[in-house]
Amino acid sequence: MRAKHRPPRCALASDINADMKQSILAIAAVLNLTIAAATFAGDGIHPPWTQPPENGKNFTVAGIDNVPDLYGDINDPQLVVFFAGNQYMVVHDLLRAFRAVHPEYERIFVETLPPGILVNQIEQGALIVGNMRVSLQADVYAAGRGRIDALQHDKQWFARTADYARNRLAIMTARDNPRNITGWNDLAQPGLAICMPNPKWEGIAANTIIPLLRASGGDELVDRIYTQKIREGDAFLTQIHHRQTPMRIMEGKCEAGAVWYTEAYFHAMLTTHPISMVTLPDAQNRYATYAAGLLKSAPHAKAGADFLEFLLSADAQAVYRKYGFLPPGD
């Protein structure tokens, strides 16, 4: 019996392999483009959210390698500034304006972390982030006026200080405020997932939010939000609220959170961020004055003095107005 004719097995496998190879190459090309976009443009949810420094290879991976609160030249800086974290959005524009006036300062390093963490860094001599140790000493430290005054009274850290901006509070919510939050008492709603700054290291909590909660609903409201809702799993305490609160809202893990006005203002004006802002009337609000101090131990005292003077200039004040901050004297 003659065997039936069959296509050569090796030829058939070769054709399939060729087709698969082309498909794999096409998929790989798409994946490479997607990875490149995520690497250099971010995914919209994860920081840094602001324009990065220039003149170098950009390798920012959303959610993995971004280090959003350390900005600028970490190698041999000519000026080191420690800012309160809520000013991360102004840094790029502020340094550009400063360099226009002082082009001699090419290498500047800025941190925008909670002021309590920055104090710990100054006292302990370094900041450790992941596997990185930053031992740079600050020339200028900026925080709320109350903290600056306390540090000067207790430690005599500063050669001089100056007020340069003011802020107030707001409530950040998911886009269009689906839970109809209008004020502090609404944060106590059963089942409402909220993000709240941790009073252990974020001054906004202990010095501003908790007193306002107490004024609105007494100790019962403070206990409801900072004890009961935590126990029930409906409240998350942040380590760095200006990053975690907006990110958790965009990820659907929280529905609202107390923040500085300027943080909610910044995210609400980014059309790619599904975030809205609830403004609070003066009766439910409190204004904070920001001050900067030139440290007596500043390694770059002249640069620090120039930056402190610049913060009070019309150019610097215009940058702060752009991002919703108020002038220091209002």
**Quick check: bond before 48 cis, omega within 30?**
yes
How far, in Å, CA of 309 to CA of 329, rounded?
16
Tell me which residue of 219, 228, 239 sits closest to 188, measured CA to CA.
228
Residue 191: left if φ>0, alpha if ψ -120 to 50, beta else—which one?
A: left
At residue 4, the pLDDT reads: 41
3-class DSSP assignment, residue 206: helix
Could you state, in chain order, the average pLDDT of each consecutive group of 10 residues for the chain (330 residues)? Answer: 39 40 38 32 74 87 89 97 94 97 98 93 96 97 96 98 98 97 96 95 89 97 97 95 95 96 95 94 95 98 98 98 92
Report strand pairing: 256-260 vs 194-197: parallel
In order of start, what are the domains of the chain with their CATH numbers?
Answer: 70-167+289-322 (3.40.190.10), 169-284 (3.40.190.10)
pLDDT at 297: 98
pLDDT the model gives residue 330: 60
Residue type, 45: I
The pLDDT score that the predictor gives to residue 32 is 36
Largest CA distance in the chain: 107
H or E element in which residue 273 lies: none
